Structure 1
Amino acid sequence: MKRLGYLLMLMMVMTACNNHNEKPEIADNTVKVKAPAIVKEFGFVLNDYEVVRDTIRSGDSFGLILGTHGVDPNKIFEIVNKVRDTFNPRKIVLGKPYAILKSRDSAATPNVFIYENDLVNYTVVDLRDSISVYTAKKPVTITKRSVSGVINSSLTEAIQDEGLSYLIAHEMSNIYQWSIDFFRLQKGDRFKLVYNERYINDSIYAGIENIEASVFYHEDKPYYAFNFMVDSTSGERDYYDEKARPLQSFFLKAPLNFTRISSRFSPRRFHPVQQRWKAHKGTDYAAPHGTPIWSTANGVVIASSYTAGNGNYVKIKHNGTYTTQYLHMSKRAVKQGQRVKQGDIIGYVGSTGLATGPHVCYRFWKNGVQVDPFRQNLPAAEPIEDKYIPSYFAAIEPLKTELGKIEFKEPI
């Protein structure tokens, strides 16, 4: 028994020694720090710089902004002279955003100036050793959408009711301006659209890319419009209907976005300035001072001048048959001999010459005789070339199917 007790005690001592030699577990309280996310914008890794963002304020200039951030006046002079052919510092616009990338050291030296021309385009002025400037675009993705709407009062309201951008109403007005009078829409008129939206970095809305296809039911008559490339070399596109006929007319219906027609073409009108009855061989469109005036068709400027009666005026020859003239401008935007396209800005509304208020007097000649454009059977635009007709019908077939699948909403 003594020997058995001795053995049990020996085993207990050995076990206690073994437990004593085992190392206790130590809790790992180390805090793991995540590396900061890499931020890339404008082609730079912003983590590498101190980034200053601001907008152009009243009184700001390119030189003043750089000087405020520590750039030497002699350096500013050198920068301006080097970049002005690509980036004119005098033309920075109030309210436009900009960013300055500074070095991450005690000097915080400005290395890069970035001016945002618009939502997509920006200009980079590299201020480092070899001063350089270039323009670039933010990454843009295109998203296709299909929508429908119904007119209860106006096109703009119908667009807003669907939660869509007002730019769509503007685009539709441009597409259908030759075939639908949007001032005379009726309740129950409706439309379907297949269009593309632009997004910057997949998240920031950047406007409408284009309307691929649409159908507008006005007085229960369908008006189709399909976007088609008519010149593969220039990339020029236009809108045509389901029978490949151009929607565009040779002439725009009006030379500007006007408030009202204040005086029509008339053989006898009482002149408000001369205080006598005389023929009024033009159409007066009242509009706010400074409203842009457009050329109503392609052509060549044959006069850009001033007279006591006409004020600032522009005259355009469109072909051997038609000529137009635009009077009482506050400022002319084209020169004699310049070629213009339909919709190009040729001047701005004013009241120069014999005028009592801001408007443009639009005059129209056919074969050398002044006529009322509203009474003319004006030609359509150039049709699609015969060789492209099969391609056109093949291109619009899936779009017609897509439009057909969109359901209309009932009018309120």
Structure 2
Amino acid sequence: MPGRRMLGTPRKLAALACAMALFEPALGGAGTHRRPARKGQHHPERPARRTARDHGTRGIAEEHVHVRRGDTLESLLAAHGVGVAEARPWIAAATAVYDLRRLAPRRGLTLRFDRATHALEAIRYEMDERSLLVLERTAGDIHAERAPLPYFTEVKGVAGRIERGLREDATGAGVPARVVSELADVFGWELDLESDLRPGDEFRVLYENTRQAGEAAAEPGDVIGAEINARGWELTAVFFEDDDGHGAYYRPSGEPLSREFLRYPLEFTEITSEFSPLREHPILRCPRPHLGVDFAAPPGTPVRAVASGTVVEAGWVHQLGRSVRVEHSGG
């Protein structure tokens, strides 16, 4: 994650580091602990109330906004294409319930737009860890109300021993695939979870689950603590987030584990061609530069940007096929 910094003291990590004790007694076990949702985390929301206004035929689009220090509702709406005149009645309606002129960092804010008309249809803002401000467009005006959060977050811990591989053993122990994938990002610069682990090595992971009220199924969230023991070498990562919502993974000593760039953009089965200033072209059969890395992966494997950036091109590129070009700050 961009904007990482060293912690001033390891004491700030104590709460998360101590939480690892949830699954310390025995391997192969799992524990669950409910806690309030972390600020700034976005979750499934209750269905919007029916309004008298007809939506476009393309439905509703949601924009989840990460609130930072100094943000105002006006500035965030403007950044999403809502002008001052359109924003004014929304802010006026909110004042009867909550003052939105100054937003608290790390609180969740969701904007809903009509896909066809691009008109703002609803705003949801987490006022605190129990309450949600709901603003919705009705036939005549903007309706505002305070509502309970429709979800809760639980912290779950799982531990196990490597027999076949981290992916197989962790998912077999009940760890969601998304969480296993995140472990590869957390530890990616320290060890290769596909090839560096051996039978007998151990893993522990602490992650969030979010549940809708009244529903049994949970949506896996972020990894907040993890530990890998590889042939006696212990590697521990805990997540720390500051008041502005900047988060990263650190060792218990305070040394950062996270880097600004992911090591790989996807979970691959093998590297089929390395970066090379000169290699034999597989089709032309003559020496040519290969200014990239080719990965083999199963169809449907998610491809991620290795760092925050701007998509400047997406489409079919000659010889490359379907491509997405992302520009990162600093080149």
Alignment of 1:79-228 (within 5 A): 79-80=54-55, 86-89=112-115, 129-130=139-140, 139-184=150-195, 185-201=197-213, 203-228=215-240
For 2:203 and 2:308, the matched residues in 1 are separated by 30
Who is 1:276 aligned against?
A: 286
Q: Any conservation in 2 of the 1:190–1:218 contact (CA below 8 Å)?
A: yes
Output aligned runs, 1:250-265, within 5 Å: 250-265=260-275
Identity level (%):
24
Task: Give how far 1:43 is off.
Answer: 8.1
Question: Which digits, 9 at most, give the CA deviation of each residue in 1:5-46, with x for residues without a partner?
Answer: xxxxxxxxxxxxxxxxxxxxxxxxxxxxxxxxxxxx7587xx
RMSD: 4.4
Alpha-carbon offset, residue 206 of structure 1: 2.6
Question: Is the contact made by 1:167 and 1:207 (CA closer than 8 Å) also made in structure 2?
Answer: no
Q: Give, in whole Å, the separation in 1 of the partners of 2:302 and 2:204.
A: 31
Matched, 1:236 2:246: yes
Measure how far apart 1:255 and its partner are. 2.9
Partner SS state of residue 251, structure 1: coil
Deviation at 1:150, TM superposition (A): 0.9
Shift of 1:274: 2.7
Q: Structure 1's 333 and 280: CA in aligned 2 closer, same or farther, altered over 3 A?
A: closer
CA shift digits 1:362-396 (9 cap, x unpaired): xxx9xxxxxxxxxxxxxxxxxxxxxxxxxxxxxxx
Aligned residues: 218
Q: Tell me, in whole angstroms, the C-alpha distance in 2 between the residues paired with 1:253 and 1:141.
A: 33
Runs of 5+ unmatched residues, structure 1: 1-40, 45-65, 67-74, 92-120, 314-326, 342-364, 366-412
- For 1:62, the equivalent position in structure 2 comes to none
Q: Which runs of 5 or more residues in structure 2 are unaligned?
A: 1-45, 62-111, 118-131
Change (3 A) 1:332 1:187: same
CA contact (8 A) 1:295 1:340 kept: no
Cα distance in structure 2, aligned partners of 1:176 and 1:220: 16
Q: CA offset at residue 188 of structure 1?
A: 0.9
Change in 2 beyond 3 A, CA 1:148/1:202 = farther
Instruction: Report the Cα distance in structure 1 between the residues aligned to 2:299 and 2:172, rounded to whole angstroms.
Output: 32
1:312 to 293, 311, 317: 317
Letter in 2 for 1:265: F
Q: 1:256 to 1:130 in 2, by over 3 A?
A: same
Aligned to 1:376: none
Distance 1:154 1:124, change over 3 A: farther
The change in CA–CA distance for 1:250 and 1:209 in structure 2 (over 3 A counts) is closer
Q: Which has the higher contact order (CA 8 A, sep 6+)?
A: 2
Q: 1:277 to 1:138 in 2, by over 3 A?
A: same
Q: For residues 54-73 of structure 1, give each alpha carbon's deviation from its aligned partner in whole angstroms, at most 9, with x where no partner exists.
A: xxxxxxxxxxxx9xxxxxxx
Match of 1:20 in 2: none
- In the TM superposition, residue 300 of structure 1 has moved relative to its aligned partner by 7.0
Distance, in Å, in 1 between the alignment partners of 2:317 and 2:144 is 38
Q: Which residue of 2 aligns with 1:332?
A: 324
> Which of these two proteins has the greater Rg computed from alpha carbons?
1
- Report the Cα distance in structure 1 between the residues aligned to 2:209 and 2:314, rounded to whole angstroms: 42
Letter in 1 for 2:283: V
The answer on whether the counterparts of 2:270 and 2:297 sit within 8 Å (CA) in structure 1 is yes
Residues 206, 131 of structure 1: alpha-carbon distance in 2 compared, 3 angstrom cutoff: farther
Q: Quick one: which of 248, 258, 274 aligns to 1:248?
A: 258
